[in-house]
Amino acid sequence: MKYFGTDGIRGRVGEPPITVDFILKLGWAAGSVLAEGNDDHPSVIIGKDTRISGYLFESALEAGFSAAGVDVRLLGPMPTPAVAHLTRSLGGVAGVVISASHNPYEDNGIKFFSGQGEKLDDALQVAIEERMDEPLEQVAPHRLGKAMRIDDAVGRYIEYCKATVPYGTRFEGLKIVVDCANGATYRIAPPVFRELGADVVAIHHTPDGLNINADCGSTHPQGLADAVVREKADLGVAFDGDGDRVVLVDHTGQLIDGDQILFVLANARRANGGLSGGVVGTVMSNFGLEEAFRGMGVSFERSQVGDRFVHERLRERGWVLGGEASGHILCLDRATTGCGIVSALQVLEVVARTRQSLAALAAGMKKYPQVMINVPVAGNARDAISGNPSLDAAVREVELELNGRGRVILRPSGTEPVVRVTVEGPESDLVRRLADQLAGAVTRAMDV
């Protein structure tokens, strides 16, 4: 597609396509496509994270949708999954999120949800892109869309999150450090855990428009780890800027990533008969997760990288649990999209019910050492490695040495001119040596 990537449209603020005129036109194009065949005023639900440019693009989208004859419901700063949920709850034809997720404040983006709270399908995205090429034609004055703010959005989503754990679940006796990444969860996550009885220490929960994801949150969890140890907490929870990712920290300060979260949830559900089908990870999920599931007799499949692809595979298989090591966790029997708060609650429910520490629950999965090296390439990274005999031979050589005890992945980046070389195996030194060996083979192949 011309503008849409795997997770909406994203870029540097002030540089195409993340400019005011483009976003206004995008609002009109999306609104005019969504309004087709709808005699009444359809409405869209708009939320944003806490970066300063959100004010700018919220106004631009509002103007564009109004010009297309679409009403707007403004949520203000809200997690991405909250927009998905409230789009369904409020009967919107679509939800729009202004966010660049885990990126720094200088970036921003736009992503859409359908009226069912799921990622907008490709056909609609193509239709919107095609409409972008047409002149902006404003509807007649009497048909202009209206805008209003939803004042109780925060309370609505807090109650929804709490309802995703069994009735009567309480977290009394648990001390939790919650890192909000100075992002969209700052008004929601601490109250959710407190209202369920936890002793909550909130950190990085004072956004100023510029500090979102800055040395905090799920992409920088060391501050959370330090706080958990310092506070003598039972565990820590870290979200990214828009709240769709989560990683955890156990009481020792050890990181528990998305793969380990999937293991904990799948193991607990299997034990109580609540695991529906198998689990979906991605090509980057740790080999240790696959090995653990094999030992448990749990089916495991891999999709392309991206929570959208995990979601598609889950729908195809009729399963409900999947995710990525980065912390995108999908519990489709709890939410239509990945929600960091909901995912954290599912883990905390297991901790509270079993009275086991997070460290003990995660101990059943052995993480294999993994090394990833980005090898710069000229031109298209996918073309650079496709059907290259010397690279095929180099991969076979590494796989032969691993002898079934690990994995090799050559993956062209979708956003940078690099080939990502990843090797997993049982020993750190072996993995590092083989990754360097394969990266060298990629470099030599590019020089031919």
Q: Which residues are catalytic?
A: 101
The β-bridge partners of 386 are none
Q: Which residue has the tokens 């008004």?
A: 187
Residue recorded with tokens 């005023």: 41
Enter the tokens of residue 126: 């193509």
Residue 151: helix, strand or coil by DSSP? coil
Q: Quick check: helix, strand or coil at residue 430?
A: helix
CA 185, CA 81: separation in Å to the nearest integer? 10
Can you say how many angstroms the Cα of residue 265 is from the centroid of all Cα atoms in its chain?
A: 17
55, HSE (Cβ side, Cα atoms, 13 Å)? 4
- In this structure, are residues 402 and 425 in contact, taking their beta carbons and an 8 Å threshold? yes
List the 71-77 sheet strands across, edge first: 9-12, 107-114, 94-98, 43-48, 71-77, 147-149
Tokens 């631009």, residue located: 60
Structural contact between residues 284 and 371, judged by C-beta atoms closer than 8 angstroms: no
Hey, what's the torsion of the CAs at 3, 8, 14, 19, to 10 degrees? 70
In 223-347 the beta strands, taken as DSSP E runs, fall at: 235-239, 246-250, 255-256, 279-282, 300-303, 321-323, 329-331
Integer Cα distance of 205 and 77 in angstroms: 13
DSSP tag of 339: -
**How far apart are the C-alpha atoms of 103 and 325, rounded to whole Å?**
17
| Longest CA pairwise span in the chain (Å) | 72
CB 165 within 8 A of CB 341: no
E strands in 86-171? 94-98, 107-114, 147-149
- Residue recorded with tokens 């992002």: 183
Residues 224, 151: Cα–Cα separation, whole Å = 31
CA 139 to chain centroid, in Å, comes to 36
Distance CA(181)–CA(223), nearest Å, equals: 11
Give the helix/strand (H/E) hosting 162.
helix 153-162
Instruction: Let me know if 52 is exposed, middle or buried by CB neighbors in 10 A (0-12, 13-18, 19+).
Output: middle
